Amino acid sequence: MQLLRITTAGSVDDGKSTLIGRLLLETGSVYSDQIASATKASEKKGFKNLDLSLLTDGLAAEREQNITIDVAYRYLNLGDKRLIIADVPGHEEYTKNMVTGASLADLALVLIDAKNGYTPQTQRHLTFLSALGIPEIVIVVNKMDDVEYSEENFNKVKQSCENLIDTIMKSHSFGLPKRTYIPVSALVGDMVTERRNNMPWHTGPTVLEYLKSVKPQNLQSSPARLPIQMVLRSGSERRYAGLLVSGVIETGQEIVSLPNNKSAKIMGIYLGEKKLSCAVAGQSIAVALDKQIDISQGNVLADPKNLPDVSNRFNAKLFFFRVEPTKNTPYFIRHISGNKNRNDSIVFENHQPPPPEAKFENSDESVSVTEACVSNNPLVYDNYLDNRTTGSFIIIDRITKDTIGCGMIQ
């Protein structure tokens, strides 16, 4: 079964949770007790009909304030395709939660209010999505019922968004993602899963039709990468467990452990206690090798025909969520090839404050140009565009332990 990861984006109150709630309800992806609970909560709030946003906003604070705070993951099964949709917050103070939800997405649904157009938060989200390398962006112009389903209004919003995206690309030198525009009314249900008679001028797909047509990234065709999370013992046998983040491995295949650069052959692959002949990207497995080598948490088992880079010096594009880091000041980082019990540190040798056009209005957030980074321990990494898991890291303040940013290795 194909797996498609989707994130939402857009400003607060543009209808992200309502759109997802509509998709869940009309594809039969919600349990009856969830509908009953959301209906009861809607009645308490004085709504005559079901508030679809309550199907995704599960925290008490979210329901009380009628906003999304944390990332909520919801699941849809569409025949041979499974969708994981991240409903992310739209408020500025929760932007880092949005980046978390978008970090592994294959596609983004960016919602824009048909009446009010894009906002500074929309610009912020589009900038982050472009920098994250999201290959496809769908601009969902929502609340078309508020503008009487006007084609002229839709075209006006579309043109303003195109101008905004061109500005973002020029300011940050990002590549242009593929993008599609769909007019919808998530509240009424028009152009989400079905067509009604309100917008006969729109000949493109509904949201659901578009999602069915998208082909997910094929991680199985990428070189094998198995970051080790723990070492298990089964009798006298040692098994090395982790999530196979890309590629395919088979029994009898030779692998290389990095960064210590030791080779061995795979003698057994286990999914729980079930023995497999091969494993594919996305499976959490344990492997047994034909000889004892020094492997611990943070090592990466890789395909010897296509090895990742191993170095403590690399270039990365950086996001900053809070105060701008200073040149040559060490910060902690967390990377897939790091050890959770070890504080790896990093410094930015040539860091310069980003230009004014790279900053956001009334915000400390910014996207930097590519930086020269030096870590105290070597990382095992790929280019972010080739492998998002091994090519990314987060930046942590040494004093407050707050996550202040993240990096994408170039």
Please say whether the dihedral angle defined by the alpha carbons of residues 197, 200, 205 and 206, taken in this order, is positive or negative: negative
Q: Contact, 312 vs 374, CB < 8 A?
A: yes
**Least confident among 49-53, 157-161, 214-218, 357-361:** 357-361
Give the three-class secondary structure for 72: strand
Give the three-class secondary structure for 106: coil
- Give the pLDDT confidence score for residue 352 in this predicted structure: 60
**Least confident among 43-57, 73-87, 183-197:** 43-57
- Give the confidence band of 90 by pLDDT, cuts at 50, 70, 90: low
CB atoms within 10 A of CB 161: 22
Residue type, 345: S
- Give the confidence band of 365 by pLDDT, cuts at 50, 70, 90: low
Residue type, 385: L
What is the Cα–Cα distance from 132 to 139, expressed in whole angstroms? Answer: 17
Q: Any idea what DSSP says for residue 142?
A: E
What is the Cα–Cα distance from 199 to 203, expressed in whole angstroms? Answer: 9
Q: Contact, 231 vs 240, CB < 8 A?
A: yes
Please say whether the dihedral angle defined by the alpha carbons of residues 300, 304, 306 and 309, taken in this order, is positive or negative: positive
Reply yes or no on whether the pLDDT at 341 is more than 80.
no
Residue 306 or 340, more confident: 306
- Give the pLDDT confidence score for residue 56 in this predicted structure: 75
Task: Read off the pLDDT of each residue in 70-74 and give the average, rounded to a whole number.
Answer: 78
**Least confident among 44-48, 118-122, 140-144, 250-254:** 44-48
Nearest to 296 by CA among 228, 203, 201, 206: 228
Residue 162 or 235, more confident: 162
Q: Tokens 């030096």 map to which residue?
A: 374
- Give the pLDDT confidence score for residue 195 in this predicted structure: 92
**Both structure tokens of 237:** 């046998």
Reply yes or no on whether the pLDDT at 63 is more than 50.
no
E-assigned strands of 96-205?
107-113, 136-142, 178-183
**Least confident among 17-26, 207-216, 353-362, 386-395:** 353-362
Secondary structure (DSSP) of 281-305: TT-EEEEEESS-----TT-EEE-TT
pTM to 2 decimal places: 0.81
Give the helix/strand (H/E) hosting 324: none
Reply yes or no on whether the pLDDT at 64 is more than 80.
no
- Give the confidence band of 326 by pLDDT, cuts at 50, 70, 90: low
Question: For residue 131, how far is the Cα from the chain centroid?
Answer: 12
What is the Cα–Cα distance from 184 to 144, expressed in whole angstroms? Answer: 6
**Least confident among 92-101, 130-139, 142-151, 332-341:** 92-101
**Both structure tokens of 79:** 């025949």
Could you tell me the domains of the chain?
Answer: 2-213 (3.40.50.300), 219-302 (2.40.30.10), 309-409 (2.40.30.10)
Please say whether the dihedral angle defined by the alpha carbons of residues 175, 4, 410 and 139, taken in this order, is positive or negative: positive
What is the Cα–Cα distance from 202 to 164, expressed in whole angstroms? Answer: 23
Q: Contact, 385 vs 371, CB < 8 A?
A: no
Bridge partners (DSSP) of residue 81 are 2, 78
- Give the pLDDT confidence score for residue 43 in this predicted structure: 81
Bridge partners (DSSP) of residue 301 are 226, 257
- Give the pLDDT confidence score for residue 243 in this predicted structure: 94
What is the Cα–Cα distance from 276 to 392, expressed in whole angstroms? Answer: 30
Percent helix, strand and coil across the chain, each rounded to 5?
A: 25, 35, 40
Bridge partners (DSSP) of residue 258 are 300
Give the three-class secondary structure for 148: coil
Calculate ∠ Cα 102-139-245, nearest 5°: 25
